[in-house]
Amino acid sequence: MIPGELLPGSGKLTLNAGQPTVVLHVENTGDRPVQVGSHYHFYEVNEGLTFDREKARGMRLDIAAGTAVRFEPGSGRDVTLIPYRGARRVFGFNAKVSGDLEPKAVKKKPTPKKKPIANKKPAPKTARPKKAAKPKSKARARRR
């Protein structure tokens, strides 16, 4: 066994069980293949892929981590998407979101009432006391 290695038990592993899913048909209208990784925010994928982007907001591919789906030019396929979990904040990619996926409720804090200040004058500026001149040494005085 290698340190950090995970050995799954025998049998079939079900990834993302119980997660809500969205199935979208995606067409590659570009002239080059497009590959999308497992955790890429699908809403922000290459513009050459056409699909209902709003349904893909906050979603990623429902495939094993570290894998990808390739879309060949001129072809289409159905993909299954699952929601991002955790804090649901997205940064990077094509910078179309760069923050929270859902707007947070704004709580207004009551502004404290300030007490009026009655004729308060600014504090006077104080001058620094001048340093006393150092007496010249005898050797220095002789040079002059």
- Domain 22-100 has what CATH class? mainly beta
pLDDT of residue 109: 64
CA angle 73, 76, 77 (to 5 degrees): 135
Closest CA to 101 of 52, 20, 43, 51: 43
The neighbour count for residue 74, using CB atoms within 10 Å, is 10
> Exposed, middle or buried: residue 80 (CB in 10 Å: 0-12, 13-18, 19+)?
middle
pLDDT of residue 108: 62
User: Which residues does residue 61 pair with via DSSP β-bridges, in sequence order?
Assistant: 81
pLDDT of residue 118: 64
DSSP state of 4: T
pLDDT of residue 136: 65
Exposure pattern of 31-62 as b/e (b: 16+ CB <10 Å)?
eeebebeeebbbbbbeeebebeeeebbbbbbb
Closest CA to 57 of 80, 85, 76, 84: 84
pLDDT of residue 25: 97
What are the mean pLDDT values of the chain's consecutive 10-residue runs (144 residues total)? 82 85 96 94 93 92 93 96 87 79 66 66 67 65 59
Q: How far apart are CA 112 and CA 48, in angstroms?
A: 53
Q: Where are the domains of the chain?
A: 22-100
* pTM as predicted: 0.62
* Strands 68-71 vs 49-50: parallel, antiparallel or unpaired: unpaired
